Amino acid sequence: MTDSDRVLRAFLTDDGRLHTIPSKHAKLLVVLDHLAQRFEPGRVYPEAEVNDVLNEVHPDHAALRRYLVENQYLTREDGHYWRSGGTFDV
């Protein structure tokens, strides 16, 4: 089991919901990378859809959205978002 797997097991419920947003930055980055996988590369999302996707995992979608943008997993422009970081399958 990798360190990332351990972090995800500590913060995600069995059904994939995030029960706590990590306060330590390194752990937060692992969770954000995991959340970024929910967004399709090359696709542009309106803010409402980003909120819907994030609400599936945690009620504080605004904080998660902000963290994803601040840490360059998503890019925001004119109320639209697209995936700009995170782990990509090659």
Alpha carbon separation from 4 to 28, 42, 46, 63, 84 (Å, rounded): 11, 25, 29, 21, 20
Residue labelled with tokens 């980055």: 29
Domain range enclosing 15? 3-83
Does some domain include residue 69? yes
Q: Write the pLDDT tens digit of every residue in 34-84.
A: 999 999 999 999 999 999 999 999 999 999 999 999 999 999 999 999 999
pTM: 0.94
Does residue 90 form part of some domain?
Answer: no
Count CB-CB contacts under 10 A for residue 55. 12
Assigned domain for 51 exists: yes
Give 23's pLDDT tier (boundaries 50, 70, 90).
Answer: very high
Between helix 25-36 and helix 3-11 the angle, nearest 10°, is 90
Q: Is residue 58 part of a domain?
A: yes
- Output DSSP code: residue 12: B
Residue 89 inside a domain? The answer is: no
Q: Is residue 18 domain-resident?
A: yes
Residue 57, domain CATH: 1.10.10
Q: What is the pLDDT of residue 14?
A: 94
pLDDT of residue 89: 66
